[in-house]
Amino acid sequence: MSDQAERLRSLVAKRSHQPAINTRVITVTSGKGGVGKSNFTLNYALGLTAQGKKVVVLDADVGFANIDVLMGIKPKKTLADLIRREADLWEILETGPNGVQFIAGGSGFQELLEVRTEEYDYLVSQLGQLQGQVDYVLIDTGAGLNHQTLRLLLASDEILVVVTPEPTAITDAYALIKTVANRHPEAKLKLVINRVESAAEGRETAEKIRLVAERFLDLKLPTLGILPDDPIVSKAVRRQTPFLLSHPDSQASRSILKLIQEQLHGERLHDMSKTDGQGHGVKQFLHRMVRLFR
């Protein structure tokens, strides 16, 4: 067993003496591509980790896997190896900077759509080990709504829709929100407004989408946070070092940290740490993904 696997096992062993955590599966998506999903997901994960949360990032963007590139690590095994029962959870979990955990999807999410019963049982026994041990499983998706992404979204506990103030990004985001809301009226969707030139532009963008969703879909659409257009993001991508680590004082980093502080404050008010035992987490996610939304 590798040192890393050893560390992960002892982490879980230690954790198992503590009360179970309310694990939540949060998927990050967008209508239009290139709006900043992967950068947001990674830096959001790092910010949550810095606040003492246990986070696993799952890269579901088949063919364009880029979270690993953004961190400068090369995954050896992917979710696809796990589904084929050629690897266990410890072998597909990579440790990124500051202890953030990462799983490359590979072709795994595609294969999830067609798993057989034996594979499903193994999948649940493996990924199910995250249940109660990690606070958040964050899934980064590709842009747009294919069959696979829709299933992912419908199976998640929460959906973050990243959108920029560009009119094309807004209309594409709305189209995606509409499809999800029609299929699953109980879906918990939240907006992340990215690349704004001013706070006012961010608020206006959020308000525009919120009003249309309320009026035409009867859907509540809160905003998780607003992030500025910041040249540090593109620099960080080129250096393959997440901006939250290389430039914690940048505007982009400060906005992410503020968003996280507000989110965690809200979660404490609602005492989200308690498991409600129902409808949440990794096992429910797999059940919905594989069985329910066929």
Ligand X SMILES: Nc1ncnc2c1ncn2[C@@H]1O[C@H](COP(=O)(O)OP(=O)(O)O)[C@@H](O)[C@H]1O
Cβ of residue 89: shortest distance to Mg ion, in angstroms? 24
Residue 263 near Mg ion by CB under 5 A: no
- φ, ψ of residue 142 in degrees (nearest 5): -75, 175
Residue 36 near ligand X by CB under 6 A: yes
Measured CA to CA, the distance from residue 257 to residue 263 in angstroms comes to: 10
Measured CA to CA, the distance from residue 141 to residue 110 in angstroms comes to: 12
Q: Do 224 and 265 contact (CB within 8 A), yes or no?
A: no
Residue 72 near ligand X by CB under 6 A: no
**Residue 259, binding choice from Mg ion, ligand X, none, Cβ under 5 to 8 Å by partner class:** none
Measured CA to CA, the distance from residue 199 to residue 195 in angstroms comes to: 10
**Residue 54, binding choice from ligand X, Mg ion, none, Cβ under 5 to 8 Å by partner class:** none
- Helix, strand, coil percentages (3-state) for the chain, rounded to 5, are 50, 15, 35
Measured CA to CA, the distance from residue 69 to residue 66 in angstroms comes to: 5
43: buried, middle or exposed (CB in 10 Å: 19+, 13-18, 0-12)? buried
Residue 19 near ligand X by CB under 6 A: no
**Residue 234, binding choice from ligand X, Mg ion, none, Cβ under 5 to 8 Å by partner class:** ligand X
Cβ of residue 3: shortest distance to Mg ion, in angstroms? 30
Among 6, 16, 34, 125, which residue sits at the site for ligand X (rule: CB under 6 A)? Answer: 34
Select the span of 3-11, 28-36, 99-107, 117-125 touching ligand X (CB under 6 A). 28-36
Residue 230 near ligand X by CB under 6 A: yes
Select the span of 33-41, 97-105, 126-134, 148-156 touching ligand X (CB under 6 A). 33-41
Measured CA to CA, the distance from residue 290 to residue 294 in angstroms comes to: 7
Residue 141 near Mg ion by CB under 5 A: no
Residues 180-209: x/- map of binding to ligand X (CB under 6 A)? Answer: --------------xx--------------
Write the single-letter amino acid at 4.
Answer: Q
Cβ of residue 138: shortest distance to ligand X, in angstroms? 13
Residue 173 near ligand X by CB under 6 A: no
Among 30, 38, 78, 263, which residue sits at the site for Mg ion (rule: CB under 5 A)? Answer: 38
Helices (H), 128-276: 147-155, 167-183, 199-217, 231-239, 243-246, 251-269
Report the sign of the C-alpha dihedral through residues 114, 119, 121, 126, in that order. Answer: negative
State the residues that interact with ligand X by CB under 6 A. 30, 33-39, 66, 194-195, 227, 229-230, 233-234, 237, 252
State the residues that interact with Mg ion by CB under 5 A. 37-38
